[in-house]
Chain A
């Protein structure tokens, strides 16, 4: 741990690191190194992102004309269902936790690995098995139930390959549960000396909250989908009224997980943003404890808002009022984060390297996504815009504008750590701006579509909605370019990129004290943490000098929050 340069010198990678410690396919497939497992996940979630992306492309092309341009109604229904299933269960949920979280959490807290390295590898294999079932379903008849699998459509009436898909998602749930468990135990038991709870990077706090949801929520959706599968396979009546079941019960059980699952996807992204902003503003994050507490607050309140997906199912009026109230409460911790990120820029030394562009883009898109949630939490307006394109736009702003921007931004931020090399900065900035513009052009028109009353999941639509649909498709083509660019230059940089050094930005976390790429054990000796998070002032090892503060007015080393 020798400051900011790699042991091997300024312009070459360290002689030994986790990537060259061992060679051969076995050394990867049987690895228990959390960093290698993170890369295995990176490859697999990218694969599913690609599949989901192809479906999305076909959907947008199809919707160019009111009558539907490309495919039959049946195929269209399969496309949006498979897009949702691939993206949500196999890309968004694992993306940041299983790739960035896996790679970074042990290093950030000063540990050599996760608490259960073999279980970590097992999680990946479970993910692969679950993913294979789902791919099998896609390949043999597809899936046309919508990613929400509402009964009795999914359990009785659908003629598509529902059973293997349900089994795949059930299996994949265990991957999530084990990852969450691993993170929780690791954060509780393996923090380095001096790494107190309130010195944890906010990225770790966000993952702690995410892990709670994974452990408490995933079993419910796994069982729910299994029940739907059993109803389909063996005609056991759980949800089908013809057999004494209740379809509304399915929705309660499904959303009990699937609403918190939205926070599984967005919380880690918020963690990424909370790391990027202080790094490029070069100052402590504003309101550390409020951001940390808001992660936990979101995780807890997020569990009691699920029935806001069901305001028009005929549920009791008082239940709807309670769930609307709670949904408004969950808006507050999200707002607290946005206000604190914004305030962090105040009197900072701001610069806009690529990760910062993603972070600022995230704030903009999450802002729109979060604020439009207020229309849906509102009982009076939800009866109009529920199940319209307004909802589609809202959750894409949160999921793509939020979670994916966070993920891609985080990849750029920690790419030098993961590979030891820098990507071409200019191209990366262009890609970030392209993504932001393309995203808004794709999804903003859908808010208007929804307000005008265009229902979602329609393979054809009334002609007055065509203009907005064409705009959306045009935006999607820009968006696609924005995703393809990083795929190309990131892969290119793995071999040809400039050597990054241990701490290129520089940033304050423990992960930036180890070489890039790190050695298999992360640290030669267990680090001792004697600094506060995001403190640039008392860190001579960062090689930064020019404080904006007049001399003699330094803040205390141990901040009072």
Chain B
């Protein structure tokens, strides 16, 4: 978030204060022993330093009272940590009723998150503040892990298992989430942001009326958020055709026919991308059915329409084989 060095992560969930207090308790115990033993070692070492070359130490073989006390006292301290930790864990594993359920699917290397009303997001999660949220998580391939440091919670996302995790966000804001179980090449970028919103803002966001009202600007935002930009690059060198100059033009398709790029064609291309493939490109685009609302499709269309007057890049010509694509 900011690039200066933070001292502790933000506390933004019901668990965070508890985990932090327990951390402080263990740190205190550890400091006591670490400092105590270090002082003892340094003090004893120098106090009983060898004075003459042939000197030997006093033969002391041990002391039963000491042995028992340094077994028993640490034992009780350890049990305090254990008990405190277990109570937090039991709370964290025991989901209360009446949660807002979010369905989370991890796959190499992205997160798909779905709101209860079916609205889907990629690498973004919007949740209301002060509501108990439950994540129901599944993996499509390897083991991932959904980790929100500001909430102090994480849970593995295991193929073949449904794992659940709950938390109650306590502070509006944007917080990093990470994949924290190593999952292959792009593990490090398999993350995103949790946006904690006030409850009414969340409701507005769910209804799709939040934010900007200019459809072109909204479309431009979606173009980046939905990662259209990774394939549909303006210079036409991506895996999908450029939007430049497309709207209202005749587009040559892979089967040799041509079609007018109008609103209906664009809508169909977003929802059923494989229905009509532009000549020179492969049918690799996933369907966005359920991922975008009708309103968002309109915004995307408006954005594509706005690129009408941009220079049309050189693209793989109609009928020519595509180059550099598998």
Contact = CB atoms under 8 A, between A and B. Distances in A.
Q: Is B a genuine binding partner of A?
A: yes
Interface of A: 73-74, 77, 144, 146, 150, 152-153, 156-158, 240-242, 245-248, 281-284, 286-290, 311-314, 317, 320-321, 324-325, 328-329, 331-332, 335-336, 338-340, 342-343, 345-352, 360, 363-364, 367-368, 371-372, 374-375, 377-384, 386-388, 451-453, 455-464, 466-468, 535-537, 543-549, 554-555, 559-561
Contact of B81 (A245, A378, A543): A378
A514 B36 CA distance: 40
A320 B82 CA distance: 11
B161 A367 contact: no
Given A386-B154, A455-B180, A74 B60 contact: no
Nearest to B82: A328
Nearest to B38: A364
Nearest to B27: A375
Closest 6 A/B residue pairs (Cβ) = A453-B149, A241-B160, A283-B57, A380-B88, A379-B89, A378-B85
A328 B180 contact: no
Name the interface size band of chain B.
Answer: 35 or more
A278 to B, nearest CB: 9
29 contacts: A144-B184, A156-B142, A157-B141, A247-B159, A248-B158, A248-B161, A290-B62, A317-B90, A317-B94, A343-B63, A345-B40, A349-B48, A368-B34, A371-B33, A372-B30, A377-B81, A377-B85, A380-B19, A451-B8, A451-B9, A451-B23, A453-B9, A453-B147, A456-B180, A460-B188, A537-B59, A546-B55, A554-B59, A559-B61
Contact of B66 (A329, A335, A343, A374): A343
Nearest to B46: A350
B188 A458 contact: yes
A87 to B, nearest CB: 17
A298 B91 CA distance: 31
B193 to A, nearest CB: 11
Interface of B: 1-6, 8-9, 15, 18-19, 22-23, 26, 29-30, 33-34, 37-38, 40-41, 44-46, 48-52, 54-63, 66-67, 70-71, 74-75, 78-79, 81-82, 84-90, 92-94, 108, 141-143, 145, 147, 149-150, 152-156, 158-161, 163, 176, 178-189
B3 A380 contact: no
Given A313-B163, A546-B54, A547-B55, 7 more contacts: A153-B183, A157-B108, A346-B60, A367-B34, A377-B81, A456-B182, A544-B55
A381 B22 contact: yes
Given A372-B30, A387-B181, A328 B54 contact: no
B85 A380 contact: yes
B155 A312 contact: yes
Contacts of B48: 281, 345-350
A367 B161 CA distance: 38
B188 to A, nearest CB: 4
A374 B81 contact: yes
B145 A452 contact: no
Given A452-B6, A455-B178, A331 B78 contact: yes
Contacts of A372: 30
A367 B37 contact: yes
A286 B61 CA distance: 5
Contacts of A554: 59
A135 to B, nearest CB: 23
Contacts of B18: 380
Contact of A467 (B5, B60, B75): B5
Given A324-B86, A453-B176, A458-B187, A384 B81 contact: no
A380 B49 contact: no
A331 B45 CA distance: 25
Given A332-B74, A349-B56, A321 B143 contact: no
Contacts of A329: 78
Contacts of A549: 58-59
Contacts of A247: 143, 158-160
A146 B45 contact: no
B52 to A, nearest CB: 5
B161 A455 contact: no
Contact of A455 (B5, B40, B70, B147): B147
A535 B59 contact: yes
Contacts of A150: 142-143, 181-182
Contacts of A367: 33-34, 37-38
Contacts of B8: 451-452
A380 B180 contact: no
Contact of B58 (A347, A382, A463): A347
Given A342-B41, A374-B30, A287 B67 contact: yes
Contacts of B52: 546
A356 to B, nearest CB: 9
Nearest to A73: B185
Contacts of A240: 159
Nearest to A553: B58
A152 B159 contact: yes
Contacts of B181: 150, 387
B44 A342 contact: yes
Nearest to A66: B3
A560 B158 CA distance: 56
Given A282-B55, A332-B78, A347-B58, A452 B160 contact: no
Contacts of B29: 374
A346 B188 CA distance: 50
B141 to A, nearest CB: 6
Given A349-B48, A548-B55, A561-B61, A77 B160 contact: no
Give the most central of A328, A363, A459: most B CB within 10 Å: A328
Contacts of B58: 283, 347-348, 547-549
A336 B70 contact: yes
A314 B156 contact: yes
A342 B62 CA distance: 12
B8 to A, nearest CB: 7
A104 B55 CA distance: 27
Nearest to B149: A453
Given A351-B49, A548-B56, A460 B70 contact: no
A513 B159 CA distance: 60
B41 A360 contact: yes
A111 to B, nearest CB: 27
A146 B182 contact: yes
A388 B180 contact: yes
Q: Which of B6, B29, B176, B180 has the most CB of A within 10 A?
A: B180
Nearest to B152: A384
B182 A537 contact: no
Nearest to B30: A371
B270 to A, nearest CB: 30
A288 B19 contact: no
B45 to A, nearest CB: 5
A374 B59 contact: no
B61 A288 contact: yes
A352 B45 contact: yes
B159 A312 contact: no
B205 to A, nearest CB: 25
Contacts of B188: 73, 457-461
Contacts of B70: 335-336, 339
B185 A384 contact: no
A31 to B, nearest CB: 38
B240 to A, nearest CB: 23
B116 to A, nearest CB: 22
A282 B53 CA distance: 11
A374 B26 contact: yes
